[in-house]
């Protein structure tokens, strides 16, 4: 099997694991929808409110999809629509305190799950794995023309 075929297969297997998506046994009623988690994470890492157009460009999704996602997150009290702080015409979205709280809780749960999965891994292996994932993601971002800010 070609190495890239192995990567494809392992990526397939990773995407099917409910363990991380479910937080490794955390309460299911406390889970954030995956699209909300991605949306809130993007706004949070941007460290500035974002318009539908900016979100559409960041995710490579059409505005109608982002309108549905932001509407759901707004109804859930996770984000709010505000006037553009820079004075532009477009309204922008920012996280609410509840959105910040739920995002932090979700992220902490996912990190706890990863800690369990990699509990027997040496720190150097975890760091190397993180480095390979970062390299993989930044190369995808380079090819797609859509970078994701990193903290």
Contact 100, 79 (CB under 8 A): no
Question: Which pLDDT score, from 0 to 100, does residue 27 have?
Answer: 42
Question: Which pLDDT score, from 0 to 100, does residue 80 have?
Answer: 97
Question: Which pLDDT score, from 0 to 100, does residue 22 have?
Answer: 53
Chunk the chain into consecutive blocks of 10 residues (it has 151) and report each block's average pLDDT, rounded to whole numbers: 89 72 50 88 94 94 95 96 87 97 91 90 96 94 91 79
The three-state secondary structure class of 74 is helix
Lookup result for tokens 């995002």: 103
Which is nearest to 149 in space by CA: 137, 82, 106, 101? 137
User: pTM to 2 decimals?
Assistant: 0.86
Q: What is the CA radius of gyration of the chain?
A: 17
Question: Which pLDDT score, from 0 to 100, does residue 33 have?
Answer: 85
């Amino acid at each position: 099997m070609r190495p890239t075929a192995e990567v494809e297969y392992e990526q397939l297997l990773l995407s099917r694991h409910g363990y991380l998506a479910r937080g490794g046994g955390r309460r299911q009623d406390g889970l954030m929808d995956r699209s909300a988690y991605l949306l809130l994470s993007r706004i949070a890492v941007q460290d500035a409110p974002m318009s539908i157009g900016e979100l559409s460009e960041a995710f490579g999704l059409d505005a109608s999809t982002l309108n549905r996602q932001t509407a759901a997150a707004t109804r859930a009290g996770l984000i709010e629509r505000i006037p553009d702080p820079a004075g532009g015409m477009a309204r922008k979205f920012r996280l609410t305190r509840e959105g910040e709280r739920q995002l932090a809780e979700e992220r902490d749960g996912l990190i706890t799950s990863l800690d369990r999965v990699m509990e027997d891994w040496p720190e150097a292996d975890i760091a190397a794995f993180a480095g390979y994932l970062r390299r993989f993601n930044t190369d995808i971002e380079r090819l797609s023309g859509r970078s994701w800010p990193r903290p």
